[in-house]
Amino acid sequence: MHKIESSIFLIHNFTKILHKISITQKIMLIWNKNDLSLNQNAVHEVILLKSTG
């Protein structure tokens, strides 16, 4: 019985950690959206330069 309880406890902690990670990843995604759009523009400029040059 003790093994089952400890494994359930471990799984519970693991899911809590995963949930925290997912929340931080969402925050990071929102935070980086502006940077991502800037990077995409830079990539497009490089592609244009390569195609015209």
What residues make up the domain containing 43? Answer: 1-53
CA distances from 21 to 12, 35, 39, 45 (A): 14, 21, 24, 34
Q: Give 36's Cβ-side CA count (13 Å radius).
A: 6
Number of domains in the chain: 1
Q: Can you give the pLDDT at residue 39?
A: 66
Q: Can you give the pLDDT at residue 22?
A: 83
Whose tokens are 């195609």? That residue is: 51
Q: Can you give the pLDDT at residue 51?
A: 79
Would you write out the chain's pLDDT as a tens digit for each of its 53 residues?
A: 588 888 888 888 888 888 888 888 887 777 666 666 666 777 778 778 777 75
